[in-house]
Amino acid sequence: MDWITRLLSFLSNAIVNIGAWLQGVLMGWGLPEPTALLVVRAVGALAVGFFPLIVVIFLIWAYRKIAARIQGRLGPNSSGTWAGPWGILQTFADAIKMIVKEDIRPQGIDPIPYNLAPMLVVFASVMLWAVIPFGPGGSLIGADLNIGIFYILAFSSAALFIFLMAGWSSNNKYATVGAFRSVAQLVGYEIPQLLAVLTVVAVAGTMKMQGIVGAQSVIFLVAMPLTAAIFYLASLAEINARPFELLEAESELVSGYFLEYSGMKFGMFYLAEFMNSVAVSAIFTTLFLGGWRGPWVDQAPILGTIWFFIKMGLVILVWMFIQITLPRLRIDQMLSFNWKFLTPLAIINLCVTVLVNKGITEAFPGGAPAWTRAAILLTSQVLLVLVVWGISALGGQRARRRTWQAAQISELEVAA
């Protein structure tokens, strides 16, 4: 076991110090220090930018395999085909097909926003990864900003304008209607998502992503499960996942806002959707699962990155199961659920959690033990869920009583 520990320690030090090593090599080649530092940062930016692109290729493959297994589809689960072992090359073949397909442009489009929209949607998805901490320290994060979580929310909100650009500039009424419905969905579900994030920030006491990870001696999924559920539901709506898949409702909107896109432009929208799913999994892991925290990370920091990817993979798996199994809501059901239930619940949850957290701070001037703090927060959230469930049950009972009374009155009128 000693050689395993030494190997992990060597790999950890190599990854943590790779930037300093590369800068030293460049300076040894004669580059001045500012230029070498700029090159090192550019290489780091390229690595962060290409990471989601590489992950998405294998994510699409895994999604197809899991969906085929659950839904009984033989094609993606066939072995020994031309698509390589386990069909791993199918995604690469699809990427080549997208690149070489003809780029068809309808008449009457507004060319500048029409052509910018596919590029901007991928750009916004890539920029989310700049503040995701893959491990401890400052070497495994692009930039640990003081407002890291709100940087993520700002770029995720850019999709609203991009979808509107794509639909409006396409000179197609179906695409325009799809864009407006996308705006209605994204604007509505950004509110509970933001309120859930504010709840996490209030408890963690910081907006830095590494600070939020450091505040989770007990993961926030255990301490604040209701907040995690609100954030995850709102995020599913933001990334166009079922049961909120109305941004691209083929049976209703003829592919929605990107109806008039073909070839690689369509591929960029498709790619961005999967990239956003991976990004949401990484953000959820950071906010509620402790990010890179895990056993033996202090001895070998490289294990923090491994723990991060394991947790992120589990969240992606949950997203896949939801996406594959649940049906799609109607637009009125989706908006009613947000404005009449999820948003009021997020507001009440924020108020209750902040007050409870303030009470804990006042009751334990020296700082409450981690598990005590988590137990109190968990109790408050469970009580809130019970109260909401009771109110919902009472409201449903009254609604059923009114329906029964209306039916009785109709029967009497018919008999008369």
Which helix (H) or strand (E) is 123 found in, with range?
Answer: helix 111-127
pLDDT for position 365: 78
Whether pLDDT at 123 is above 80? yes
Average pLDDT value for residue range 132-152: 80
pLDDT for position 231: 93
Q: Confidence class of residue 82 from pLDDT cuts 50, 70 and 90? A: low
pLDDT for position 383: 92
Q: Confidence class of residue 110 from pLDDT cuts 50, 70 and 90? A: confident
Average pLDDT value for residue range 296-319: 85
pLDDT for position 13: 52
Whether pLDDT at 52 is above 70? yes
Q: Which of 53-62, 199-208, 343-352 has the lowest mean pLDDT?
A: 53-62
**How far is Cα of residue 358 from the mean position of the Cα atoms in its chain?**
29
Neighbour-count burial of 409, counting CB atoms closer than 10 A to its CB (0-12 exposed, 13-18 middle, 19+ buried): exposed
Average pLDDT value for residue range 81-105: 77
In angstroms, the CA 299 to CA 106 distance is: 59
Average pLDDT value for residue range 213-217: 87
Q: Confidence class of residue 228 from pLDDT cuts 50, 70 and 90? A: very high
Q: What is the mean pLDDT of the chain?
A: 81
pLDDT for position 261: 84
pLDDT for position 201: 92
pLDDT for position 349: 92
Q: Give me the amino acid identity at 167.
A: G
pLDDT for position 109: 85
For the ranges 47-51, 118-122, 399-403, the one whose mean pLDDT is highest: 118-122
Name the more confident of 293 and 74.
Answer: 293
Whether pLDDT at 265 is above 90? no
Give 186's Cβ-side CA count (13 Å radius).
22
Whether pLDDT at 347 is above 90? yes
Average pLDDT value for residue range 86-93: 78
Name the more confident of 255 and 344.
Answer: 344
The rounded percent of the chain whose pLDDT value lies above 70 is 85
Average pLDDT value for residue range 318-332: 85
Length of the chain in terms of residues written: 416
- Given its phi and psi angles, is residue 247 left (phi above 0), alpha (psi -120 to 50 degrees) or beta? alpha
Average pLDDT value for residue range 233-238: 89
In 356-394, which positions are buried (b, 16+ CB within 10 angstroms) versus exposed (e)?
bbeebeeeeeeebeeeebbebbbebbeebeeebeeeeee
Whether pLDDT at 45 is above 70? no
pLDDT for position 254: 64
Instruction: List alpha helices for 206-255, DSSP H.
Output: 209-214, 220-223, 225-238, 250-253
Q: Confidence class of residue 247 from pLDDT cuts 50, 70 and 90? A: confident
pLDDT digits (tens, 9 = 90+) for 145-195: 888 888 888 888 888 888 888 888 888 888 888 888 888 888 888 899 999
pLDDT for position 103: 79
Whether pLDDT at 11 is above 60? no
Residues 6+ apart with CB under 8 A from 273: 239, 240, 248
pLDDT for position 253: 54
Average pLDDT value for residue range 194-215: 89
pLDDT for position 292: 84
Q: Which of 28-32, 201-205, 313-317 has the lowest mean pLDDT?
A: 28-32
The rounded percent of the chain whose pLDDT value lies above 90 is 12
DSSP helix/strand/coil, 103: coil
Which helix (H) or strand (E) is 352 found in, with range?
Answer: helix 343-363
Average pLDDT value for residue range 76-87: 64
Q: Confidence class of residue 73 from pLDDT cuts 50, 70 and 90? A: confident
pLDDT for position 6: 56
